[in-house]
Structure 1
Amino acid sequence: MNLEIPKFHETFNPILEVLSNGETIHTRVLQSLVIKKYFSHLSEEQLLEKTKTGEILINNRIAWGKSYLKKGGYIFYPERGNVRITEKGLKQKSELTLKNAVEDSGILNFYSDEISKGNSDKVTFKDIVNSSPQDLIDKGFSQIEREVKSELLEKLKKIDPYFFEKVILILLKKMGYGEFIETSKSGDGGIDGIINEDKLGLDKIYIQAKRFNENKVREKDIRNFIGAMSGDTNKGVFVTTSLFDNGAIEKAKNAHHKIILIDGNKLVDLMHEYNVGIQIKATYEIKQLDEDFFEDQ
């Protein structure tokens, strides 16, 4: 059994099967039936996974499958928001492949036109196999995101250690953890900052930030951090640009205090999410047909 989220073309036959009784059904009902009948084995996390634009991924894949089937003449839209199978779709008794659907849909002709206009270096059937247009967009965004995070981590490893401590406090404030207090640059007892979760400072979070290049945070670092917290608070966040070794992870896990460990990869994930140390370079619009505009025609 395939435990991965189906590619868009893997929804072709499920869609046709659900519509094979010839009835007209609403798009949302179609999505629900396809998922219930063919992909109910997926985990809740997979069923809730989203595209970069915020749409439920499996619904997006079904929608693109539906779009290709319509272009190929296998289904049609008798009225707004509803779908019905065509005679061609009813006659499709064998497994419908992506190659056949794409050839029928005219998508390759579109890409050929783009090539002739100079909008693409080389587009072939192999380039679009397994990837809907939304998948290609998401892959592009993911690649850019990975490169930005890699550059961000390298930058963090090179900045002044004191400024790194301030970066962490700024990040935690943007995450909604209240006002922060920078501790003295010397003799701070292993505490680099304090977050006051309430205005009176009755509930505190102690922060330790270690800007390491290669060295891992070890068990003794966590032990010293716990000692520095004394009896003032039982909450701490230990952040590093590198990694935590197994001893450090176990020490934090078994401590009586609540200690959150944030390694370099998790750190840049959070900075990327809350726009700390990065900026938006460009915004792209994705447009779709406005059915309401044509409703009264």
Structure 2
Amino acid sequence: MIPTYQELMTPVLERAREGEVKFRDAVDDISNELKLTDEELSELLPSGKQTVIANRIGWAKTYLSKAGLLNTKKRGFFTITDRGIEALNSGQNIDNKYLKQFDTFNSFHGQSSEIKVVDNTLTQDDEQMTPDEVLRRAYEKINDSLSTDLLTRVRAVSPIFFETLLVDLLVEMGYGGNEEGAAHALGRTGDNGVDGVINQDPLGVDQIYIQAKRYAGGNNVGASDIRDFFGALNLKKANKGLFITTSDFTQSAVQTARDLGSRIVLINGQQLSKLMLRFNVGCRDVETLHLKRVDEDFFDN
């Protein structure tokens, strides 16, 4: 398991005690000392632009620098200070609690500890996470809450509105060519759902047959519904099917779809709401936050 950024503070200091350290070399050396697996070494942040171990070592270095235990004035390098040597010689556990004895750290930590989540289950004070991990967790919790709200609203709309919603979503996902063509391809059955066909490409060369059920939670789609849909696909000599429900699929329904091959794709309520979030259907962006970090290559001269 990759250590937390606080658990990496001592290794960072020990590496710096050997002399001036290049950040990239510190990441490699500490990773080797910890005997991290290839999987751990390659684990990336959600952004895909930095490894987790490099991110946590970077935050350990930042916190130690703010407390005056490291000096990072030279581009891309850091060195240990007298205060850092004293910390190592003290034999104490070096973590945020230890660093709070220094005013410079308290000033920095106070400015960066304002992130809160409404239910108080996640705060910047969760000492196991770096600040950007806290931000990402908060983002996930906000989206999970929004996803639940979206699904509740979708279950309450009229069949006509549900049809329009699915058309909008499929068009945003790149199907149907345009809204007019997609709307024409889908038709209501009047039974709390939508059955139809949509073009997979603008010219309608390839088509996907769709069955959608606007069901309440707990009213799950069963295996017989999947078999019926499979039979309908065979009658139409279709090779692709999409079954959407606002509830879920029973285990037997999922297994039936697997046994029938990859012709039928199942999308349950949770997946539907996640797609709506991803493609901004029924929701919209209200604020964009750009998470940045120092470009070590820029300062690597």
TM-score of the pair, normalised by structure 1: 0.78
Distance in 2, matches of 1:290 and 1:149, equals 34
- One-letter code aligned to 1:225: F
Corresponding residue for residue 197 of structure 1: 200
- One-letter code aligned to 1:212: Y
Corresponding residue for residue 227 of structure 1: 231
How many residues align? The count is 280
Q: Please tell me whether the aligned partners of residues 41 and 51 of structure 2 are also in contact (alpha carbons under 8 angstroms).
A: no
Identical counterparts, % of pairs: 34
Deviation at 1:277, TM superposition (A): 0.9
Q: Please tell me whether the aligned partners of residues 237 and 261 of structure 1 are also in contact (alpha carbons under 8 angstroms).
A: yes
Query: 1:9 is paired with a residue of what secondary structure?
Result: coil
Distance verdict in 2 for CA 1:110–1:225, change over 3 Å? same
Corresponding residue for residue 246 of structure 1: 251
Select the residue among 265, 274, 277 that pairs with 1:269.
Answer: 274
Distance in 1, matches of 2:32 and 2:109, equals 34
Q: Please tell me whether the aligned partners of residues 189 and 195 of structure 2 are also in contact (alpha carbons under 8 angstroms).
A: no
- One-letter code aligned to 1:9: Q
Distance verdict in 2 for CA 1:44–1:177, change over 3 Å? farther
Question: Any residues of structure 2 matched to 1:1-297 within 5 Å, and which?
Answer: 3=1, 5-25=2-22, 27-38=23-34, 40-41=36-37, 43=39, 47-50=43-46, 56-91=51-86, 92-93=88-89, 94=91, 95-104=93-102, 106-109=104-107, 127=125, 129-179=127-177, 180=182, 181-186=184-189, 192-214=195-217, 215-230=219-234, 231-284=236-289
Deviation at 1:285, TM superposition (A): 5.4
Q: Deviations over 1:89-137 (max 9, x none)?
A: 345143423311233363334566899xxxxxxxxx9935224332332
Deviation at 1:276, TM superposition (A): 1.3
Q: Deviations over 1:27-78 (max 9, x none)?
A: 2333343334426237369712326x97554433222111011122222124
Distance verdict in 2 for CA 1:171–1:28, change over 3 Å? farther
Distance in 1, matches of 2:65 and 2:203, equals 62
Q: Please tell me whether the aligned partners of residues 8 and 60 of structure 2 are also in contact (alpha carbons under 8 angstroms).
A: yes
Distance in 2, matches of 1:62 and 1:236, equals 48
- One-letter code aligned to 1:30: A
Query: 1:253 is paired with a residue of what secondary structure?
Result: helix
Q: Please tell me whether the aligned partners of residues 236 and 257 of structure 1 are also in contact (alpha carbons under 8 angstroms).
A: no
Q: Which runs of 5+ in 2 are unaligned?
A: 114-122
Q: Deviations over 1:270-295 (max 9, x none)?
A: 21112111011223456778999x99
Query: 2:101 is paired with a residue of what secondary structure?
Result: helix
Deviation at 1:247, TM superposition (A): 1.0
Q: Which runs of 5+ in 1 are unaligned?
A: 116-124
Deviation at 1:183, TM superposition (A): 2.8
